[in-house]
Structure 1
Amino acid sequence: MNPDEDTEWNDILRKHGILPQQIKITQNDIYDSAVAQAQEEESKRLERLDLDELAELEDEEDDRVLEQYRQQRLAEMQAQQSKEKFGSLEHISEPEYKKEVTEASKDSWIVVHLFRESIPECKLMNRILSELAQQYRATKFVKIISVECIHNYPDANLPTLLVCGEGDMKNQLVRIDRFGGMRTKRGDVEKYLKDIGAIDPSLKRSLPGESEEGDEDSDDGEEQQSAYFDLGRARS
């Protein structure tokens, strides 16, 4: 009788302490043993190298680390590019809403602007969203005429933003009184969208000809907003 055999009788004898417990070798044991052996062999190999050979090996290791870093950065850039697939404020119609907003929001954040061309605040919001769309290309920005999105929607509620994600509406902004009406700046809307998670600050791009901090407070921007403001007063 072989006491090392894995038989039912031997199991009974081991249970009663007549035979010692069988030592079972797992896959982890085999892996650990192979790693330890490889490390020992590598250590012995290094001990046999002279200084010049060690220096050459160090250069090779540096190249290997640099190549790993390059591959890692390449993978990160490709992942970022796959997210940044938008970049402009798109005009959609009622039949397109389900596909461009409801379905698309399952994969990306969507900012929907309900607007009317005749309302100055809507023109201002369209300009702001167009700029934000260029800066935050992982978020989809669309605009739709208000009554095409919600029939009989009152002009008094415009501009209105619907912020959608995970296939559902997550937040909404009715009018821009909280930002100062016609004195609303891009940074106001940007902060609102950032606070609710609709835009990712780590993916922000600068606009062409604009510094990293932004250039929305320039004289041109102030003049443009003043013109909108004057137009609004003239209509009232």
Structure 2
Amino acid sequence: MQDPNADTEWNDILRKKGILPPKEVPKEDEEEVDEGIFKQQSVVKTYEDMTLEELEENEDEFSEEDERAIEMYRQQRLAQWQATQIQNKFGEVMEISGQDYVQEVTKAGKDLWVILHLYKQGIPLCSLINQHLAILARKFKDVKFVKAISTTCIPNYPDKNLPTIFIYRDGDIRAQFIGPLVFGGMNLTQDELEWKLAESGAIKTELEENPRQQIQDQLMTSIRSGFATNKDSDSDED
């Protein structure tokens, strides 16, 4: 009697007709099939942890069933990469002229905060604010910090209005700080300026309360303490 598992042309015909059952897969072949499935599954599990470059390099190893999922992860990683690039796009205060104003400020980009400092050489408070802004620009790299000599952007802009800070978003002014009194004079600290800019929404500060208020509270506490001491001294003399 002919072996139904034999590799003969007649047996192949009978299997196609359904007369003979399908050929049994040897255990060694089953192990190879299982190993192939395992490799495929391992690829599916690891592509989630791959970088964009690794996804490109291993693209030929993925099965058709995985293409949609891989494309989804690729798009997610691309979006994350683009967001990182935007967040680290700036990092310094850019010097502009009146000719650059439209392109660098009002047309800077959608959903982008722009902080413009109008200043003039020889004004100490303007120099102080430029120093503070240089540090804040490195701290908040997703915000565009620019500075310009006042009269190059606004002809005949009065010096009494300096320093001036305009805050823009989508080409519109969202906040403005004009004149030395608004900034509190030469006692302005970096934290105080950071808090002021944060109140406009341009930056997200980690400061928990207004530094200026802390100074005022300390001053009032000192005054009250001094008043109480003087009062006790007068009582003792009486």
TM norm structure 2: 0.53
Deviation at 1:177, TM superposition (A): 2.5
Structure 2 counterparts to residues 185-196 of structure 1, below 5 A: 185-196=189-200
- 1:88 is aligned, of 85, 92, 101, to 92
Deviation at 1:189, TM superposition (A): 1.2
Structure 1's consecutive aligned runs of 4 or more residues displaced over 6 angstroms after TM superposition are: 69-74
Structure 2 counterparts to residues 61-72 of structure 1, below 5 A: 64=45, 67=48
TM-aligned CA distance change 1:168 to 1:200, over 3 Å: same
TM-aligned CA distance change 1:171 to 1:69, over 3 Å: farther
Deviations 1:73-120 (A, max 9, x none): 886455222332111111101111110111005341100000001100
Structure 2 CA distance for aligned equivalents of residues 112 and 154 of structure 1: 17
Please name the residue that 2:119 is paired with. 115
Please name the residue that 1:103 is paired with. 107
Structure 1 CA distance for aligned equivalents of residues 80 and 180 of structure 2: 37
2:165 matches 1:168: no
Please name the residue that 2:63 is paired with. none
Please name the residue that 2:144 is paired with. 140
Cα pair 2:92 2:134 within 8 Å, conserved: yes
Cα pair 2:119 2:149 within 8 Å, conserved: yes
Please name the residue that 1:211 is paired with. none
TM-aligned CA distance change 1:78 to 1:176, over 3 Å: same
TM-aligned CA distance change 1:64 to 1:166, over 3 Å: same
2:202 matches 1:198: yes
- Aligned identity (percent) is 41
Deviations 1:150-170 (A, max 9, x none): 111111111000000011111
Cα pair 1:124 1:182 within 8 Å, conserved: yes
| Alignment RMSD | 3.0
- 1:158 is aligned, of 139, 162, 167, to 162
Q: Which amino acid aligns with 1:170?
A: R
Q: Which amino acid aligns with 2:119?
A: F
State the secondary structure of the residue aligned to 1:198.
coil
Structure 2 counterparts to residues 49-60 of structure 1, below 5 A: none
Rg bigger for which structure?
2
State the secondary structure of the residue aligned to 1:164.
strand
Cα pair 1:176 1:184 within 8 Å, conserved: no
Q: Quick one: higher RCO (CA 8 Å, sep 6+), 1 or 2?
A: 1
TM norm structure 1: 0.53
Structure 1 CA distance for aligned equivalents of residues 80 and 109 of structure 2: 23
Gaps in structure 2 of 5+ consecutive residues: 1-37, 52-72, 207-238
State the secondary structure of the residue aligned to 1:153.
coil
